[in-house]
């Protein structure tokens, strides 16, 4: 994907990570690109943005609420990525240039299934795939989805970090989260959606 973007841009590729957290995905993605690249991460957490800005000095990070208007010009981005973060489709479409690409990652129906009942995690919305495809079709263009389904055994500290990622952090009390001393077998079920912005979409 990154190489495809690079071939289609003149000058620096502009990559936007909407909901960039600590910035590691943006850093890894832009590191795979061989040409000039300008990377911007947006996140509502000022702690995450501060951390990211310190760790990845060649990238830019800003605090922004993704549900509002993004601090980005119209048609400025060659690639917009959104990884387990809020998905504001009209804003994604506005900032993507015609011919630019959108990449979304979101949980599939079996994501962390072993941990859900045991730790009271939020259920994944099974309808997300259809809804996202509809919204992407409406605002960006036709999409394709790849499902990544893997099993892993996590040590207790990693399992704890995975449980407390994202919206679960607000639903699980870290103070009483006891994952025990043993490794945990966990399913990672992740959908990755790609869409190219068709010229006629706004
Ligand atoms: C599960 S984390 C994913 C972070 C990163 N994309 C990753 O995969 O490591 C979700 C991120 O979305 C951010 N977020 C949640 N609501 C947001 C909002 N309304 N506007 C901007 N960022 C938001 C959180 O601060 C968090 O960094």
Please write the tens of the pLDDT for every residue from 16-32.
Answer: 999 999 999 999 999 99
Average pLDDT of the chain is 90
Q: Is 67 in the pocket of ligand 1 (CB under 6 A)?
A: yes
Question: Is 159 within a domain?
Answer: no
pLDDT tens-digit series, residues 18-71: 999 999 999 999 999 988 999 999 999 999 999 999 999 999 999 999 999 999
In which domain, by residue range, is 26 found? 2-111+125-148+190-196
pLDDT of residue 93: 98
Question: Is 69 within a domain?
Answer: yes
CB 104 within 8 A of CB 193: yes
| Spatial separation of the C-alpha atoms in residues 159 and 184, rounded to whole Å | 7
Q: Look up the CATH number of the domain holding residue 45.
A: 3.40.50.150
Q: Is 85 in the pocket of ligand 1 (CB under 6 A)?
A: yes
Question: Is 31 within a domain?
Answer: yes
How many domains are contained in the chain? 1
Q: Is 41 in the pocket of ligand 1 (CB under 6 A)?
A: no
| Spatial separation of the C-alpha atoms in residues 139 and 120, rounded to whole Å | 35
The residue contributing the CA closest to ligand 1 atom 25 is 45
Question: Is 85 within a domain?
Answer: yes
The residue contributing the CA closest to ligand 1 atom 10 is 85
Task: From the CA of 167, give the closest atom in ligand 1.
Answer: 1
Nearest alpha carbon to residue 186 among 89, 121, 103, 92? 121
Q: How far is CA 165 from CA 14, 30, 67, in A?
A: 27, 23, 20
CB 156 within 8 A of CB 181: yes
- 113: tokens are 């299934």
| Spatial separation of the C-alpha atoms in residues 10 and 27, rounded to whole Å | 21
Question: Is 183 within a domain?
Answer: no
């Amino acid at each position: 994907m990154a190489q495809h973007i690079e071939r289609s841009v003149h000058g620096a590729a502009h990559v936007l990570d909407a909901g960039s957290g600590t910035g590691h995905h943006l850093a890894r993605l832009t590191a795979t690109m061989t040409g000039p690249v300008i990377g911007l991460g947006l996140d509502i957490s000022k702690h995450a943005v501060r951390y990211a800005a310190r760790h990845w000095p060649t990238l830019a990070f800003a605090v922004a609420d993704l549900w509002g208007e993004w601090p980005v010009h119209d048609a400025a981005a060659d690639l917009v990525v959104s990884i387990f973060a809020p998905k504001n489709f009209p804003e994604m479409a506005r900032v993507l240039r015609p011919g630019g690409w959108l990449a979304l990652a979101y949980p599939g129906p079996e994501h962390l299934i072993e941990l859900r009942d045991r730790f009271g995690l939020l259920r994944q919305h099974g309808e997300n795939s259809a809804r996202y495809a509809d919204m992407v079709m409406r605002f960006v263009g036709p999409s394709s989805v790849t499902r990544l389904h893997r099993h892993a055994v996590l040590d207790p500290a990693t399992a704890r970090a995975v449980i407390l990622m994202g919206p679960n952090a607000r639903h699980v009390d870290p103070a009483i989260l006891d994952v025990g001393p043993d490794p945990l077998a966990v399913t990672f079920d992740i959908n990755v959606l790609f869409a190219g912005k068709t010229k006629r979409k706004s």
